[in-house]
Structure 1
Amino acid sequence: MKKMIQTSFMITLICLLTFVFIPQGSASAKIEDGTYSVDYVVLKAENNSVSMANDYFSKPATLTVENGVQHIQITLKSSEWIKELKAPKGGSFADVTVVSENKTADTRVVKFKVDGDLSKPLEMKMHVYIDSMKPVYDHNYTVRVDFKVDSMKKTGGTSETNDKSNGKQDETENKTQSGNGNKEGNKQVENNPKTGDQSSFVLLFIALFASGFFIIRKVNLSKQTN
């Protein structure tokens, strides 16, 4: 009997460890459609130290999610110095899209599709050229943009939702949406929906059920033998 209890305990322990350490990245990475502000920091390629390039990036960034597709929009400062900026795309890197540029303020708004997991630092390639420096500063390097997913706040809906709020619905419905929008705008986004929690409880239930079934079966076999 003692050996049977020890075996049951080991099975339960293994199941519980599986429950605790099972990856749940797919659930936490899912972000519902909408527009969000998200803070971030630019890190060096080789370690988690803040890169000097961090000062060229205005915070926060804007994240737009539509039909599950994520796009990041960032405002660059001292943009005249930034000759090239590339984001990950299909295992390589591609130039970001220029949305707008202000020569007077020396800023540039750029946009790129998120190709990867936003909860992990994204590598980006930069070319900085400063001809006013002596000697001229001309350097290509890699940085990692670390988006603080926990800081995300919803600021609006998708383009379809925004169109509706601009007059495609009746006045009563617009008022209702406006009220809900204000509440959502001040609410911090939960990146891990209930799907992950439900999966965890299911795994725990299976572990306990398997352990109980094993004990009952052993007891019954022991009685039959005796």
Structure 2
Amino acid sequence: MRAQSALVVKLGGSLLPRVPGLVEELQRSERPLLLVPGGGPFADQVRTLGLDGDEGHWMAIAGMEQFGWYIASKGVPATDRLVVDGGVSVLLPYRVLREEDPLPHTWEVTSDTIAAWVAERLHLDLLLIKSVDRLTVGGKAVDLIEQPECCDEVDPCLIPFVLSHGIRAAAVNGQVDGRVAEHLRGAEVPCTAIRSLETSI
């Protein structure tokens, strides 16, 4: 992943307790970053209601927006536009997704694939901040995914979307202090890269 270039960063909802420290790491990188919030406990609440289709989809997107406002409360400017103006900002996704409605309304499409769609629209690389050192395929941690494999740590549509759109992507563990900052500096850290055979990373 190219150091110093602008980047779309998916900040997983499972990392909500670590948001203050992660925001500091991201801001120290001095890279232009657009954060895409996960749904976290807000989307999980929608799941408990057993809603499918349009209603569940838009309620879950609203959950992402709530997490986005929480990230904003830690000193990150919020935006509802697909732009990277410099520095670190967080996307409030509801308006743009209502306007463009680019993805299926299913629980198989979560904030992971939404972040990949944002990266594709902006022609940027994608960093997925997760709670594991590496993604797993068939129960085995892997450094690289080049085929549309089944992976428990991301939604079922994420890997096919990334590969089919030629997005450079990587997943890094945000539970380890300093790991994200090191990755953003270009250091080699435990992670999983996702790329098609035709795409270098």
TM class, shorter-chain normalised?
Answer: under 0.3
Normalising to structure 1: TM-score of the pair?
0.22
Larger relative strand fraction: 1
Q: Which has the larger Rg?
A: 1
